[in-house]
Structure 1
């Protein structure tokens, strides 16, 4: 069994065939189990999560029905062989290693960051690209009305944004500034309050001989932050802009401003 949450929810057989007949509540239930893989979840906790803390009178009976239906969907020939197990007072979904796309994504991202720290930028770029290739759209778009799943989906989407920007950093370190200017400009427009991609864009433009455009990009960012948040760009962003204006030789370390090992408030601004 393989479960995909980096996009619309899918449950698939080992053959790659999508499991048919899963109703919205079935998919929500499986997604909640994936938040706690291989861990027993008490019935009362599941009811609370599935109904956002406001269960109906029929919720306990409905949960029992959903569990039975999911078990049959996952193992139609013999529900007793289903990976969804009934335990004393609750349930457990057996999830083998590597059977959730989010976990595979995290593995690739971790390996990429290790390679980056070791200066192996080519391998880091390949691992980041592998991680991003798993995505099929925003995480769990049809489940955002379930509070716990909405919070998880937002975390997954932010992880995707961070890895996308990590890849831009690595490509800047590889000297691919000409090739990524267009993609960076589009990404910065999609996320106007995230300073990290704007710094990356400024650096890529400057290294492409477009210093005037780099400065203009900074001014657009500054106006946006002042207008929407009432704040100036961060000291890191201002320092990069100043170095661009003075024509300083920008060290490669600047291509990794706001990387994962240097978290800051500015890194986390959302668009």
Structure 2
């Protein structure tokens, strides 16, 4: 069995899609998958499913959802005759979803990012780029795009979005370091429009344009960022961005180690806080 949450919720038994259809079951399964290998307290499950308005029957209804999810997981085992790759255990005041190695796309994503961080520290940016391309390729849209989310899932998904963006920045950095500046310009133009105050993405676009012989366009990217920061936040670009702008004006050599996070930077967090 294999589970996907980096996109629409999907539970696969071989080629057979066994994803629950009932909204509350899907919501509970998503919460348990995000906490795979950890006990999720009954009260947390209730908070996620009903927020501040749980029904009087919340605990018994929760037990029904657990039973239905467990039945789905067991049916896959009985069909294949194999031991369960994913199974749901009842623990003291909570539930634990045990997931076998390589059976959840989020775990695969985390493993690839960790391997890429080691390649980065070793200075092997081609390997880093390859691993991060594979990690981001596991995403098929917004995480849990078709699941109704309560307060706990919303917090986790906010953290996952930030993590994905951080990994994307790291991948673009790796691509810049191995000379793929021409190929990155289109992608970075889209990203800087999506994140108009994000300095690092703008720095990456400026470097890609500059190395492609488009200094005037790189300077315009800085000017656009400066206008946006002033208008929306009442701020000026950081000293790092101002230094990059000055170096471009002076046609100075531009290296990623000066303007972008390097191998010694803080690793991208894979688990949201809270």
TM-score (norm 2): 0.87
User: Residue 211 in 1 paired to residue 215 in 2?
Assistant: yes
Aligned to 2:7: 7
Aligned to 1:168: 172
Aligned to 1:228: 232
- Counterpart Cα distance in 2 of 1:260 and 1:26: 42
Aligned to 1:268: none
Aligned to 1:67: 66
Aligned to 1:39: 38
- Counterpart Cα distance in 2 of 1:81 and 1:180: 39
- Counterpart Cα distance in 1 of 2:122 and 2:152: 37
What displacement does 1:258 show?
A: 3.7
SS of the equivalent of 1:94 reads: strand
Question: Is the CA contact (8 Å cut-off) linking 1:3 and 1:99 kept in structure 2?
Answer: yes
SS of the equivalent of 1:85 reads: strand
The answer to which of 56-65 and 89-98 deviates more is 89-98
**1:111-147 CA distance string (max 9 Å, x none):** 1121122111111111010001000101112346311
1:132-211 correspondence to structure 2 within 5 Å: 132-143=136-147, 145-211=149-215
SS of the equivalent of 1:83 reads: strand
Question: Is the CA contact (8 Å cut-off) linking 1:143 and 1:149 kept in structure 2?
Answer: no
Aligned to 2:272: none
Structure 1's unaligned 5+ residue stretches are 264-271
Equivalent pairs counted in the alignment come to 261
Question: Is the CA contact (8 Å cut-off) linking 1:195 and 1:237 kept in structure 2?
Answer: yes
Question: Is the CA contact (8 Å cut-off) linking 1:11 and 1:19 kept in structure 2?
Answer: yes
SS of the equivalent of 1:184 reads: helix
What displacement does 1:206 show?
A: 0.8
1:63-142 correspondence to structure 2 within 5 Å: 63-76=62-75, 83-142=87-146
Distance 1:217 1:88, change over 3 A: closer
SS of the equivalent of 2:219 reads: helix
- Counterpart Cα distance in 2 of 1:4 and 1:259: 31
TM-score (norm 1): 0.88
Return structure 1 stretches of 4+ with deviation > 4 angstroms. Answer: 77-82
- Counterpart Cα distance in 1 of 2:148 and 2:264: 30
Structure 2's unaligned 5+ residue stretches are 79-83, 267-274
SS of the equivalent of 1:141 reads: coil
- Counterpart Cα distance in 2 of 1:81 and 1:7: 21
- Counterpart Cα distance in 1 of 2:127 and 2:99: 29
**1:30-76 CA distance string (max 9 Å, x none):** 12112322233332332123222431212112112111111112223
Distance 1:253 1:219, change over 3 A: same
Aligned to 2:81: none
SS of the equivalent of 2:96 reads: strand
Q: What is the alpha-carbon root mean square deviation over aligned residues? A: 2.2
